[in-house]
């Protein structure tokens, strides 16, 4: 999030939006867009320069995702932008600038009429609201002109990365220190067994059933009920059993393994940065339940980006051979978790044996229409590239005794027609956080090399 002049209202110029549509979500204060900007975006989408027109279409689509369903009065009053515990955002206002009288400072100005109207809109806002307003623009001349007439101006932030944890309900709350130290007496909160009742004031606004919490003392709890004054939670064992030989490296991984192996859930949604362990833990949990517990008969793996809705028939080999190179994240996880057990040096033979033993099927979205997946763990990887319609189609494939695991990272969207706001992964979190037998978890830590962590945070 951009922290400079945090309370300033932002008026976004067309160039700022086209350069980075995530500018809509980059500020903690209110964001304003005027009709002139919308008109310019509409003109840009017809440009012969395909790169510019594609960027303009992404902006329009992201605005549509946020505005959709809101009336003109609501747009004028401000549409709340998605906020979370870690990222507070203001409202998005769509303003009508075409009926405003041109300020005397700009009335006889030369140059772009559109630029003058946007600056004029910002100037009127500043005077009417009696608050500082900042224009965000890539155009240095526009920024200079705005400052000349008394409106602050700045370039687009170079750090507009919007992470999953900043955009969505995370499914978990972390406490500093020991949560039990915040309670006066053991008698006040212990009910029976491992069930406790804590004051609701200790939890954030998003607390709900099936949300987890943990503290620095190593306690992990599952919220079972939220009442007016109390949050009822079940305390999980301090030391969890290994899953397929895997132990969690941090408390969110411990929460993930609990969610992925709890037989109550039939849907697990896990998002977060590359290197946080999403795929690794999902594969370990799936192997544990298929091979060791025999709760399911097979593992079905599908990756959203591969082939999308197109038939992959132009690739050589059968469907598994076509899909395997594109599902390297899954096979890398298998190699990593079994490399220490392999003593003859033929790790690929070991992985092939595991794939056969666990009856792992690698497939494509193109072959999912009409299927019903029974007695299986269905892993949907790279879900950030899926549209809402695609995620709906995939999540309706689950049949009898099917556990579905959705994995993704909003910072790695590869599809030009999908944004963080419109991604099927975002829609899945927002919808299925209220599903009784579903769990949501968003990672905030990277467990790869220091280079991987630095790259995730800064590129």
284 pLDDT above the threshold of 80: yes
Residue with the larger pLDDT of the pair 55 and 32: 32
Residues 6+ apart with CB under 8 A from 186: none
Who's near 363: CB < 8 A, 6+ residues apart? 300, 301, 302, 319, 323
Cβ atoms of residues 82 and 89 within 8 Å: yes
pLDDT tens-place string over residues 287-301: 999 999 999 999 999
Tens-place pLDDT, residues 166-202: 778 899 999 999 998 887 665 556 666 788 889 999 9
User: Cα separations (Å) of 279 from 191, 310, 327, 379, 393?
Assistant: 37, 25, 11, 9, 21
Cβ(445)–Cβ(252) below 8 Å: yes
Return the residue matching tokens 């993930």.
256
- Per the structure block, which two tokens stand in for 38? 């919308």
Domain 9-160: CATH superfamily, name plus number: 5'-nuclease (3.40.50.1010)
Rg for the chain, CA atoms, rounded = 25
User: Taking the domains of the chain in order of start, what are their residue ranges?
Assistant: 9-160, 165-458
Other CB atoms within 10 Å distance of the CB of residue 208: 16
pTM: 0.74
Over residues 1-44, the pLDDT tens digits come to 444 456 689 999 999 988 877 788 888 899 999 999 999 998 88
Distance CA 372, CA 14 (A): 46
Output phi, psi for 414, to 5 deg.
-105, -10
Which 3 state secondary structure label does DSSP give 104?
coil
- Mean local confidence (pLDDT), 149-159: 85
Q: How far apart are CA 335 and CA 439, in angstroms?
A: 27
Residue 226 scores a pLDDT above 80? yes
Q: Is the pLDDT of residue 52 over 80?
A: no
Tell me the pLDDT band of 164, cut-offs 50, 70 and 90.
low
358-403 per-position pLDDT tens digit: 898 888 777 777 788 999 999 999 899 998 888 998 999 889 999 9
Q: What SS3 state is found at 285?
A: helix
H-assigned helices in 262-327: 278-287, 319-323
| CB-count exposure of residue 405 (10 Å: 0-12, 13-18, 19+) | buried
Strand partners, 360: 299
DSSP string, 116-166: HHHHHHHHHHHHHHTS-EEEE-S-HHHHHHHHHTT-EEEPPPS-----HHH
Tokens representing residue 87 in the block:
């990222």
Q: Are 438 and 265 in contact (CB under 8 A)?
A: yes
- What phi and psi, each to the nearest 5 degrees, are found at residue 272? 150, 175
Find out whether 213 and 235 touch, Cβ atoms under 8 Å.
Answer: no
Residues 186 and 358: their CA atoms lie apart, in Å, by 46
How far apart are alpha carbons 61 and 171 in whole angstroms?
27
Which one of 186-195, 239-248, 250-259, 306-315 scores highest in mean pLDDT?
Answer: 250-259
Could you write out the DSSP letters of every residue in 330-378? HHHHHHHHHTTT--SS-HHHHHHHHHHHTTEEEE-GGG-TT--B-SEEE
Distance, CA of 280 to CA of 343 (rounded, Å):
21
Mean pLDDT of the chain: 83
For residue 347, pLDDT over 80 is answered with no
More confident position, 155 or 354:
155
Domains 9-160 and 165-458 are alike in CATH topology:
yes
pLDDT band at 309 (very low <50, low <70, confident <90, very high): very low
Report the distance separating Cα 127 and Cα 132, nearest Å.
9
Question: How distant, in Å, are the alpha carbons of 191, 281, 284 from that of 256?
Answer: 26, 7, 11
Domain 165-458, CATH class in plain words? alpha beta
- Phi, psi (rounded to 5 degrees) for 35: -60, -35
**Helices 278-287, 251-261: inter-axial angle, 10-degree rounding:** 40
**Token pair of 190 as six digits:** 């212990």
From the list 93, 129, 128, 100, the residue with the least C-alpha distance to 11 is 93
Model confidence band, residue 63 (pLDDT cutoffs 50, 70, 90): confident
Q: What is the largest CA-CA distance in the chain?
A: 82
2 alpha carbon, distance to own chain's centre: 19
């Amino acid at each position: 999030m951009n922290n400079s002049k945090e309370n300033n209202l932002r008026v976004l110029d067309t160039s700022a939006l086209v350069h980075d549509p995530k500018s809509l979500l980059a500020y903690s204060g209110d964001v304003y867009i005027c009709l002139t900007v919308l008109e310019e975006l509409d003109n840009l989408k017809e440009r012969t320069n395909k790169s510019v027109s594609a960027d303009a279409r992404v902006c329009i689509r992201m605005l549509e995702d946020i505005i959709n369903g809101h009336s003109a009065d609501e747009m004028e009053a401000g549409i709340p932008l998605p906020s979370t515990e870690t990222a507070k955002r203001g409202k998005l206002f769509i303003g009508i600038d075409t009926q405003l009288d041109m300020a005397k400072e700009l009335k006889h100005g030369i140059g772009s009429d559109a630029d003058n109207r946007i600056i004029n809109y910002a100037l009127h806002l500043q005077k009417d609201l009696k608050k500082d307003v900042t224009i965000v623009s890539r155009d240095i001349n526009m920024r200079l002109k705005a400052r000349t007439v008394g409106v602050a101006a700045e370039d687009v932030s170079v750090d507009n990365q919007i992470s999953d944890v900043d955009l969505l309900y995370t499914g978990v709350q972390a406490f500093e220190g020991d949560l039990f130290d915040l309670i006066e007496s053991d008698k006040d909160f212990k009910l029976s067994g491992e069930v406790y009742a804590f004051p609701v004031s200790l939890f954030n606004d998003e607390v709900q059933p099936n949300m987890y919490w943990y503290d620095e003392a190593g306690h992990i709890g599952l919220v079972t009920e939220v009442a007016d004054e109390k949050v009822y939670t079940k305390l999980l064992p301090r030391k969890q059993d290994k899953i397929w030989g895997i132990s969690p490296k941090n408390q969110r991984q411990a929460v993930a393994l609990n969610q992925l192996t709890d037989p109550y859930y039939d849907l697990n949604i896990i998002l977060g940065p590359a290197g946080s362990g999403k795929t690794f833990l999902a594969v370990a949990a799936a192997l544990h339940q298929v091979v060791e517990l025999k709760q399911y008969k097979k593992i079905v793996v599908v990756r959203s980006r591969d082939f999308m809705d197109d038939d992959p028939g132009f690739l050589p080999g059968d469907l598994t051979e076509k899909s395997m190179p594109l599902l390297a994240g899954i096979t890398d996880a298998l190699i990593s978790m079994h490399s220490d057990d392999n003593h003859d040096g033929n790790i690929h033979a070991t992985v092939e044996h595991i794939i056969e033993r666990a009856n792992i099927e690698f497939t494509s979205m193109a072959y999912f229409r009409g299927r019903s997946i029974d007695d299986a763990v269905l892993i949907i990887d790279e879900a950030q590239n899926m549209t809402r319609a695609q995620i709906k189609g995939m999540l309706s494939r689950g049949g009898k005794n099917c556990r579905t695991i959705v994995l993704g990272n909003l910072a790695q969207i590869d599809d030009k027609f999908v944004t963080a706001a419109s991604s099927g992964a975002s829609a899945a979190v927002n919808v299925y956080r209220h599903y009784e037998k579903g769990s949501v978890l968003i990672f905030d830590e990277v467990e790869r090399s220091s280079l991987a962590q630095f790259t995730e945070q800064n590129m």
